[in-house]
Amino acid sequence: MMNQPLNPGLGRRATLRLAASAIALGALAALTGCDRKHAESVAGASAPAATTAAAKRPFEGQTVTVAVGSFMSSGVNMFKEEWEKRSGARLQVVEIPFGDLYQRLFASFTTGAGEFDVAIYAANWIPEFALNKNILSLEKYYGTKDNWDDVLDKTKRIMYVGAERYSVPLDGDVLIGYYRKDALENDAYKQKFKAKYGYDLAAPTTWKQYRDIAAFFSGWDWSGGGKPDFGVLEAQGPKDVGPFILVSRVASYAANPKVPGGLFFDPDTMEPSVNNPGWVQALQDWVDIKKFGPPEMATMGGGTMRGNFVAGNYALAIDWADVGIQAQDENASIVKGKLGYFMLPGSPRMWNIKTKAWDQFPEPQRAPYMGWGGWHGSVAANSKAPDAAWDFLNFIDSNENALRAVMTPGTARNPYRKQHFSDPKQWEEAAVKYKDPAPYLEVLQQSLAHPNTQYDLRIPKAGRYFEVLDNWMQQALAGTMTPKQALDKTAEEWKRITAEAGLDKQKQLYRDLYQIK
């Protein structure tokens, strides 16, 4: 049940009417962050001049402190000055290294330090923070939000805990594949590849094909740049996005559509799936792929990987939508117009956690993975300025500002609204002038709409589970453990985390995510 909208002082529509009497329509749209159509609907209204200045700057003198992962900070800072002028408040942005974000927020919330008014973090942590009452339900604010229905359905779903929304989505996350057209679409290379592997060179549909392509393009100058090039670039560095890149492989082996919810745990028992043969195969694949990338790939985080991929010569990559965005920046990219896109590869066999055997399929089975879940913003429960905090989140999520952010390289904000996919031409006319955006948007849409698309882990201590996975998978990548040994250790620790959090509670929340009765 939705609560009544909060109305601190003047309402949003009244505020617009006051502003309209003082400034031209075009300036009004920029001031409020609303779209032109909404601005026109309130133009011409009048209000007492004495209250106009107060209406324009409703949070005069307040400070809103935003905690944000360093990846996403430019997606916040780009709106800082504009919002401060509009609101009268001061915005203080605290950038936290990606690998430290969960622990920093957890510590701040559990100690009651009250450091932050807004937290911008992974959507998969929402249930933990909501259940612990670290963040506010936003239902009373959503009653006045005019662009809620435009959010993609799968993104909407992960904002809820029970019947209430606890976040504002700022990003849409699904991992996809990238390839260099000047490698895979070169006729001479196609002939050589087919002669060696016995099938046509094209965007990979299986992980075996992915490995073959990476091997074929590794160690020689296929780009014509005068030095050997590489077959692949992925983020394998510790304390970064590595677990999500790994699980993007795992899903194709372990997210069996015959057993909904089996990717991370057995939903009937909460026995970890993390060390089953599907997971072991995926980690072995990831260890093996190292040899086809540069040595420094072992230390690369997501940001470094993106910058290197768009500035170098690598035949394949896996990432969120960010590579496709950064590739358009001609000041930092040499691959604009040279990228192809593909849904993550699949597997003709998937592990079945119930039968304890591989299920064979006539065609490769795909399982696109919504790793991280997207950057979402929440208002801290102990915020001293909750109305201003909400106003800031709503402002950077307006139609105009959301579209601007997802089209801007380096913001880590990927398409998450229907509007973002509605017309590729708007991308062609963006500030960086996207080159042929239709295939890019199509692969993102296909991945999000696939019937076996997998949500990320969304139960309390999700961040802790992934920290443990990261620690042990690094041992396998370094060669100090086999993949099976590393994942057995991971499973042991996952069991302890589940027991500490409460097995029955974790099981119910896990089953709720997959709508298992």
Distances (CA, A) of 245 to 233, 299, 464: 11, 14, 17
Q: Where are the domains of the chain?
A: 57-172+373-441, 176-367+453-513
Q: Is 229 helix (H, G, I), strand (E, B) or coil?
A: coil
Instruction: Please name the CATH architecture into which domain 57-172+373-441 falls.
Output: 3-Layer(aba) Sandwich (3.40)
Measure the CA–CA gap between 506 and 363, rounded to whole angstroms. 34
Q: List b or e across 197-215, with b for residues whose CB sees 16 or more CB atoms inside 10 angstroms.
A: eeeebebbbbbebbbbbbb
CATH fit for domain 176-367+453-513, picks 1.10.1070.20, 3.40.190.10, 3.40.50.10470, 3.30.1360.10: 3.40.190.10
Q: Given this model, what pLDDT does residue 55 score?
A: 60
Which is it for strands 314-319 and 339-342: parallel, antiparallel or unpaired? unpaired
Strand segments, DSSP code E, in 175-310 are 176-180, 230-233
In sequence order, the 6+-apart residues with CB closer than 8 A to the CB of 490 are 272, 274, 275, 468, 469, 472, 473
Q: Given this model, what pLDDT does residue 28 score?
A: 32
Does this chain's domain 57-172+373-441 share its CATH topology with 176-367+453-513? yes
Distances (CA, A) of 488 to 442, 464, 472, 482: 38, 17, 9, 10
Distances (CA, A) of 20 to 80, 281, 394: 23, 62, 20
Tell me the one-letter amino acid at 141. Y
Report the DSSP beta bridge partners of residue 346: 206
- Judge whether 274 and 494 are in contact, CB under 8 Å: yes
pLDDT digits (tens), the chain, 517 positions? 333 333 333 333 333 333 333 333 333 333 333 343 333 333 333 334 334 445 679 999 999 999 999 989 999 999 999 999 999 999 999 999 988 999 999 999 999 888 999 999 999 999 999 999 999 999 999 999 999 999 999 999 999 999 999 999 999 999 999 999 999 999 999 999 999 999 999 999 999 999 999 999 999 999 999 999 999 999 999 999 999 999 999 999 999 999 999 999 999 999 999 999 999 999 999 999 999 999 999 999 999 999 999 999 999 999 999 999 999 999 999 999 999 999 999 999 999 999 999 999 999 999 999 999 999 999 999 999 999 999 999 999 999 999 999 999 999 999 999 999 999 999 999 999 999 999 999 999 999 999 999 999 999 999 999 999 999 999 999 999 999 999 999 999 999 999 999 999 999 999 988 888 8
- The H-assigned helical ranges of 255-314 are 277-289, 302-311
Helix (H) or strand (E) holding 164: strand 164-165
The closest of 437, 436, 379, 378 to 406, measured between CA atoms, is 437
Measure the CA–CA gap between 122 and 378, rounded to whole angstroms. 10
Q: Given this model, what pLDDT does residue 51 score?
A: 42
Angle, helix 207-216 to helix 277-289, in steps of 10 degrees = 10
Measure the CA–CA gap between 478 and 471, rounded to whole angstroms. 11
Measure the CA–CA gap between 127 and 130, rounded to whole angstroms. 5
